[in-house]
Amino acid sequence: MPGDSLERLQRDLGLKRLSHGWAKVEILVGLIGATVGLFGGIRLAVQEIGTGSEPVWTAWLSLGALVVLGTYLALAGHRSHLYQSNNQLTAYLAELVRQHHSPPSRTTL
């Protein structure tokens, strides 16, 4: 069974089980955060240019941080998906090796 080989791989290597759902939430929240930060920065720039006012540095820093942190969160979710895929492929290959590997014959001298 495919799930058994993945569980065996995780147990043998001491890996913890990764959640598909949590990875998708990370990606979604990260993309929303990055988008809000990006469009907020554009809006702030247009507002400052239109009124000729001084830049509000705290707003710029917070929007920049939102873009950076949102992007990081989206990439972390993507990385989690890659790890899950690699673990499944590794478990599949390990199962193939186990099936086709014959134990060496023992000869007594």
Is residue 104 included in any domain, yes or no? no
Q: What is the pLDDT along the chain (109 residues), one digit of tens a residue?
A: 556 887 887 788 787 777 889 999 999 999 999 999 999 999 999 999 888 888 899 999 999 999 999 999 999 999 999 988 888 888 888 888 888 876 666 666 6
The domain containing residue 93 runs over which residues?
21-97
* Domain-located, residue 15: no
Structure tokens that stand for 106 in this block: 């023992």
pLDDT value of position 92: 86
Phi-psi region of 14 (alpha: psi -120 to 50; beta: other; left: phi over 0): left
CB atoms inside a 10 Å sphere around CB 97: 9
**77 falls within a domain:** yes
- Report if residue 80 sits inside a domain: yes
Tokens of 33: 């955060």
What's the one-letter identity of residue 57?
A: W
Number of residues that this document lists for the chain: 109
Asked if residue 72 is part of any domain, the answer here is yes
pLDDT at 108: 62
In a domain, 51, yes or no: yes
Count of structural domains, the chain: 1
